[in-house]
Amino acid sequence: MKLLHKRQKRYEIDMTTGALIPKILQFSLPLMLTGILQLLYNAADVIVVGNFAGHTALAAVSSTGSLINLLVNVFMGLSVGASVVMAQAYGAADVQRMRKAEHTAMTLALLMGIGVGALGFLLARPMLEWMDSPPDVIDGAALYVRIYFLGMPANMLYTFGAAVLRAVGDTKRPLYYLTISGLVNVALNLLLVIVFRMSVAGVAIATVASQAVSMVLVLLCLFRSHGVTRLELKECRIDRVSALAMVRVGLPAGLQGSLFSISNVLIQSSVNSFGSLVVAGNGVASNIEGFVYTAMNAQHQACMTFAGQNYGAGKYDRVKKTLWCCLGIVAVVGLGLGLLVRAFGAPLMGLYNRDAEVIAYGGIRMGIILPTYFFCGMMDVMVGQLRGIGYSILPMIVSLTGACGLRIVWIMTVFAANPTLETLYLSYPVSWAVTFAIHMICYLAVARKRLRTGEAAG
């Protein structure tokens, strides 16, 4: 690691030595704050449009998440693969492999950003029609999705650039960059929606502009780096070995995310059948729940990166200890924050929209999801552990069977027999708990053998 500059080094974390819990918290807390800030800025979109453009515009913006995720997740999953490959190379002190992986990742990010952007722009309205978006919502939703996907190259480049930094333990600078870009997002929201009355279009333009700012900041960071993460345009090409390693880990992760989104699209379609007030309430509650999820997801990222570095360094005992530390932390965070947010659910939803019916419908969702959300966090930590040591197909199969498949079956059977919002939302905690249990069984039966023998990931 002789290439590492002292100034660069202070942002990085050696995950292969020292006490685990302090280092996991050092890694995950900035990541947690980054996610929460990002959600605060996304919440600003919903709050501004909900208070100054009405519940129809609110429903238009808030109903697009599952569709966007459906189209984006398969490609964003490759950033997971990139992070694992780079973390393992960094843990093994293999500078050449690390740099090839970084330049491959950033090249893929640009190409995928252009391709996904074009795909999302063209498929926006047909997909929303397939989801049975309410007639008073679909025009605004289609406009939002089209503008959003115009910014996809910037979104991809930032995501992969942040993955490069996370692979070496740097979660602080992405937090700084997101703070700046988020302030731009809020300022543009207020200007375009309140002053220029651009409604849904204003919110979408503000989002794309803020993504462009975060992209510029992370690229400047990588270009100016004096260490192993330095990005050089002349080295930007696709290295076949690195790309295949990323695809092997990242493609199953991306497919899992997209197929998960199919179940969420089906749930969103079921929600849409109750009308725009329910859609708005569901969107507001989902937005608030995202703060709890992103706090838990930081432990998923921590588990995956710590497992990756220690696996690359051949320290298999630390890989196993990482899992139990992250499971404990995510259970405390998920249950504590879930109950806290649930207690203040009504006033929090009132910030988004003052309509009593919207708040009431959102409360139905929050009452079921938040007290059980920690199961989702524990499920994700198991996935992070398995991916960190090179397994990706196994957690994909388990997740799709236990969560995605179970939700689809639930909608077609239990919900069909009793079509209420409560029955619909119960599909979430049931699927999380079942999938976590299956992941744990698979880990104990399969992955621990790899950690005992030190087999190469395959």
What is the length of the chain?
A: 458
Cα torsion 335, 64, 255, 206: sign: negative
Distance between CA atoms of residues 275 and 281, nearest Å: 10
User: Count of CB atoms within 10 A of residue 343's CB?
Assistant: 11
Q: How many CA atoms lie within 13 A of 41 on its CB side?
A: 26
Closest CA to 256 of 104, 382, 85: 382
Residue 24 phi, psi (nearest 5): -60, -45
* Rounded-to-10 torsion of CA 361, 262, 433, 299: -90
Quote the tokens at residue 177: 């960059």
User: Count of CB atoms within 10 A of residue 151's CB?
Assistant: 20
The confidence score (pLDDT) of residue 182 equals: 87
Distance between CA atoms of residues 327 and 325, nearest Å: 6
CA distances from residue 376 to 164, 178, 297, 325, 430 in whole angstroms, order as listed: 26, 25, 9, 16, 10
Distance between CA atoms of residues 287 and 65, nearest Å: 10
Q: Which residue has the tokens 């390693």?
A: 245
Q: According to DSSP H, which parts of 238-354 are helical?
A: 240-272, 276-312, 316-343, 345-352
Distance between CA atoms of residues 252 and 14, nearest Å: 28
Distance between CA atoms of residues 242 and 182, nearest Å: 33
Q: Cβ(378)–Cβ(327) under 8 Å? A: yes
CA-atom Rg of the chain in angstroms: 21
Cα angle 326, 329, 332; round to 5: 145
Q: Cβ(365)–Cβ(421) under 8 Å? A: yes
The confidence score (pLDDT) of residue 269 equals: 81
Say if residue 233 is exposed, middle or buried (CB neighbours under 10 Å; 0-12, 13-18, 19+).
exposed
Amino acid identity, position 97: R
Quote the tokens at residue 301: 């990222």
Distance between CA atoms of residues 237 and 234, nearest Å: 8
User: Count of CB atoms within 10 A of residue 234's CB?
Assistant: 6
Closest CA to 419 of 267, 305, 304: 267
Q: Cβ(83)–Cβ(308) under 8 Å? A: yes
Distance between CA atoms of residues 59 and 139, nearest Å: 11
Amino acid identity, position 30: P
Residue 93 phi, psi (nearest 5): 60, 35
Q: Cβ(241)–Cβ(101) under 8 Å? A: no
The confidence score (pLDDT) of residue 75 equals: 76
User: Count of CB atoms within 10 A of residue 429's CB?
Assistant: 18
Tens place of pLDDT for every residue, the chain, 458 residues?
A: 444 444 455 667 888 888 999 999 999 999 888 878 777 777 777 778 877 877 678 777 767 776 777 677 777 778 888 998 999 999 999 999 999 999 999 999 999 999 999 999 999 999 888 878 888 889 999 999 999 999 999 999 999 999 999 999 999 999 899 899 989 998 999 999 889 989 899 999 999 999 999 999 999 999 999 888 999 999 999 999 999 999 988 888 777 776 666 777 778 788 888 888 888 888 889 888 988 998 999 999 899 999 988 988 889 889 999 999 999 999 999 999 999 999 998 999 988 778 888 899 999 999 999 999 999 999 999 999 998 888 888 888 888 888 788 888 998 899 999 999 999 999 999 999 999 999 999 888 877 666 665 544 43
